[in-house]
A and B are shown apart, each in its own frame.
Chain A
Amino acid sequence: MDAILLQILNGLDKGSAYALIALGLTLIFGTLGVVNFAHGALFMIGAFCAVTLQRILNLSFETVDETQTDFLGNPLKVKTPYVEAWFGPEVGGSIIDWAVPLAILFAIPIMIGVGYVMERGLIKHFYKRPHADQILVTFGLAIVLQEVIKYFYGANPIQTPAPDALNGVMNLGALIGMDIIYPVWRVVYFFFAVLIIGGIFSFLQFTTFGMVVRAGMADRETVGLLGINIDRRFTIMFGIAAAVAGLAGVMYTPINSPNYHMGMDFLVLSFVVVVVGGMGSLPGAVLAGFLLGVLESFASMNEIKSLIPGIDQIIIYVVAIIILLTRPRGLMGRKGVMED
């Protein structure tokens, strides 16, 4: 029983990342009608916002310590971060320690900016082009973005730990009298994802801006005829979608050390999630994200692996095939969207 509960938690956690990326993809697709293959790259850039902030906070000056030597036998240069020098080791150290949560503030403007530039500079010109062209150009962009990151940060994973206070484990089962040990940061990640998803939904549901956007998603032309500048709003939505992907990336860094190709790793999966959820459906994307996450976790249980060897390798795809064959437009897809 514990094992199953644990795997549900793991699944929800994986699902959070899938759902956040798929949510952004669907937002872009639903508003702008663009298939964005660079969305994984936005997730990756978000993660590297955290890495960058960590690097900035760790900017150091060097003092020569004659008593120690470096690997070549020269006197050792000891590095002290400026932050520690300014605020004292105590405060400075804890600022550095909280780099990842701080990176949220750092990432939001950057991601919105990246999204804005991407939409205005490139995507805008592709609204009327076939989906195949959109795929090709955004895929090219994804490659360029990840290669630029690789050029500056290398190919190896970069460690970006969570703050010490959030680094341990907690017993989630204490309330119900069970013993479910789970990492604190993963719980944080899950609630963060729920918060963001809730935020996006209420934004679309309860604000005028959101209402207009929803109307635009349903019928762009009519809204335009009503004299509403729908394009500008869609640009903003692109920025928001980029920010969602970026924040998902920032918060993901302590779970797995980010590397330059993490975006590509998530790209295919997130497309499967979006399509299984049904093209153009936001709730569908979120639902499919969590569903696939949980099923993936179950499939990696030893009991199930011993029944069907290798099932954890293919579970996502098996589920996708079954769902698409039984429900023509995924879980909650709209008719006529991306069907030709």
Chain B
Amino acid sequence: MFGLDKKDTSMLIIVACLTLFAPFILNPFPTDSAMAQFNAGYPDLMQRFVIFGIFAIGFNILFGLTGYLSFGHAAFLGAGSYSAVWMFKLVGMNVIPAILLSVIVAGLFALLIGFVSLRRSGIYFSILTLAFAQMSFNLAYSVLTPITNGETGLQLTLDDPRILGVSATADGSIPVTSLFGLEMRSTFEMAIGPWAFQFNVGYYLCALILLAAFYLSIRIFRSPFGMMLRAVKSNQQRMNYTGLNTRPYTLAAFVISGMYAGLAGGLMASMDPLAGAERMQWTASGEVVLMTILGGAGTLIGPVLGAGFIKYFENIFSKINDNVLHSWFSFMPDGMEDALVFIVHPFIGKGWHLTLGILFMLVVIFLPGGLVEGGQRIKGWLSRRKAKDSNTSGETNPAE
């Protein structure tokens, strides 16, 4: 189907199911239960899952295939966000032109940075990209404030021109982002017994774009171009000795992955029209590296999993406080309840960084191939249990 082989098709279908039914999958607990704290099926977080998924997929096209580790990819995400918000400010609230512009701007920006940075390889390349991104961040935060609105981030205001739209709605508010009138924020809420599921227009737009992006990335991975990039990774020197200039290929990969980042940035701004400078900071660039490695660099689905993993911890664990803990453990005798709260306390709320750090270490130590390897091991373990004699553990290697 779609020019994919059977395995890729089934993977695409799995991803499609996961994203389309995410409002159900991510809300497994009834709304009023104590476990509802772990529900992630609300529009903002679902949007973040897929947007960062797109970002990580794009990053993986560069890092997973060519091995070039860019430490400045957040710059393209930031550039994309800023261009999208400027479109909302100047032209109108339709998301299509904003997303298009953000992809184009990020692509051009990536072309420029990639052209310079790809003159070096290895860690020298990493530091060059880091330097460009940090420059962008520092300037966006200070000197470029007229364009970026600095610390606060670029926001919409009531007196933006919006030549193809209105500056303010009839009731005096800022208009909202929409796709030809279909508001990004409108949410359909469905209550089934104690469960409540939210279906958000913006999320589904992001999800469809994620599917397209994922499909494109499969095609790239399986194409001769992808093969060429992998050859660069395994031995660039040999490629050069055969008289082949690898630069155009790596540059193309860099620009494509920059455009993915721009797309993610544009979507982010479309869901929530604000572009903050910290989106370009090195920590943001580092985050996408972590997502990719954590999920499984070079695999197709890994980066998406990694993105979901990190965003889940950031948004869910940071919101657990002692009060919540007490309500969980309230069925226990007092002394035990307090003891448990005391033990768990450092890892939740303001300690969510600690939990994340520990999990990073555990995953890298025990699952060198990232979360994808974890999944494969579980799968292998299950199939071994089904048929003890058949040797199936090695059947699914990551796509690298």
Report chain B residues within 8 Å CB of A329: 124
Q: Is B343 an interface residue (CB 8 A)?
A: no
Contact of B361 among A135, A137, A147, A317 (CB under 8 A): A137
Report chain A residues within 8 Å CB of B290: 136, 139
Give 6 closest A-B pairs by Cβ, nearest first. Answer: A140-B360, A143-B357, A310-B143, A317-B131, A147-B354, A339-B122
Within 8 A of A (CB), among B115-143: 116, 119-124, 127-128, 130-132, 134-135, 138-139, 141-143
Query: In the assembly, what is the distance between CA of A75 and CA of B339, in Å?
Result: 33
Report yes or no: A144 in contact with B358, Cβ–Cβ below 8 A: yes
List 25 A-B pairs, Cβ < 8 Å.
A131-B69, A132-B63, A132-B69, A133-B364, A136-B360, A140-B359, A140-B361, A140-B364, A147-B351, A148-B354, A268-B134, A271-B127, A272-B127, A276-B127, A309-B143, A310-B142, A314-B134, A316-B131, A317-B135, A318-B131, A321-B131, A324-B128, A330-B124, A339-B122, A339-B123
Q: Is A141 an interface residue (CB 8 A)?
A: yes
Report chain B residues within 8 Å CB of A131: 69, 123
Q: Is A17 an interface residue (CB 8 A)?
A: no
Within 8 A of B (CB), among A301-329: 309-310, 313-314, 316-318, 320-321, 324-325, 328-329
Report chain B residues within 8 Å CB of A279: 123-124
Within 8 A of B (CB), among A137-194: 137, 139-144, 146-148, 151
What are the interface flags for B208-225 relative to A under an 8 Å C-beta threshold, 1 for contact and 0 otherwise? Answer: 000000000000000000
| Residue of chain B at shortest CB distance from A314 | B135
Report yes or no: B122 in contact with A313, Cβ–Cβ below 8 A: no
Contact of A144 among B119, B128, B141, B357 (CB under 8 A): B357
Within 8 A of A (CB), among B55-102: 63, 67, 69
Report chain A residues within 8 Å CB of B375: none
Q: Is B15 an interface residue (CB 8 A)?
A: no
Query: Interface of chain B, helix or strand or loop or mixed?
Result: helix
Report chain B residues within 8 Å CB of A144: 354, 357-358, 361
Query: Interface of chain A, helix or strand or loop or mixed?
Result: helix
Contact of B351 among A35, A151, A325, A328 (CB under 8 A): A151
B124, B128, B142, most chain A CB atoms within 10 A: B124
Query: In the assembly, what is the distance between CA of A122 and CA of B236, in Å?
Result: 31
Q: Is A340 an interface residue (CB 8 A)?
A: yes
Report yes or no: A339 in contact with B124, Cβ–Cβ below 8 A: yes
Q: Is A294 an interface residue (CB 8 A)?
A: no
Report yes or no: B132 in contact with A317, Cβ–Cβ below 8 A: yes
Q: Is A243 an interface residue (CB 8 A)?
A: no
Report yes or no: A143 in contact with B353, Cβ–Cβ below 8 A: yes
Query: In the assembly, what is the distance between CA of A178 and CA of B365, in Å?
Result: 58
What are the interface flags for B341-381 relative to A under an 8 Å C-beta threshold, 1 for contact and 0 otherwise? Answer: 00000100001011011111100110010000000000000
Interface extent on A, as a size class?
A: 35 or more
Number of residues of chain B lying within 8 A (CB) of chain A: 43
Report yes or no: B356 in contact with A143, Cβ–Cβ below 8 A: yes
Report chain B residues within 8 Å CB of A330: 124
Report yes or no: A132 in contact with B293, Cβ–Cβ below 8 A: yes
Report chain A residues within 8 Å CB of B135: 313-314, 317-318
Within 8 A of B (CB), among A69-117: none
Q: Is B286 an interface residue (CB 8 A)?
A: yes
Q: Is B294 an interface residue (CB 8 A)?
A: yes
Query: In the assembly, what is the distance between CA of A122 and CA of B366, in Å?
Result: 12
| Residue of chain B at shortest CB distance from A147 | B354
Query: In the assembly, what is the distance between CA of A144 and CA of B67, in Å?
Result: 27
Q: Is B305 an interface residue (CB 8 A)?
A: no
Q: Is B282 an interface residue (CB 8 A)?
A: yes
Report yes or no: B357 in contact with A147, Cβ–Cβ below 8 A: yes
Report chain A residues within 8 Å CB of B253: none
B121, B122, B128, B294, most chain A CB atoms within 10 A: B122
Q: Is A232 an interface residue (CB 8 A)?
A: no
Report yes or no: B365 in contact with A328, Cβ–Cβ below 8 A: no
Query: In the assembly, what is the distance between CA of A271 and CA of B356, in Å?
Result: 23
Query: In the assembly, what is the distance between CA of A132 and CA of B66, in Å?
Result: 13
Q: A132-B293, A140-B361 are in contact. List 16 more A-B contacts (CB 8 A).
A: A125-B365, A131-B69, A132-B63, A132-B69, A132-B297, A135-B289, A143-B356, A147-B353, A271-B130, A313-B143, A318-B131, A321-B116, A324-B120, A339-B123, A340-B67, A340-B236
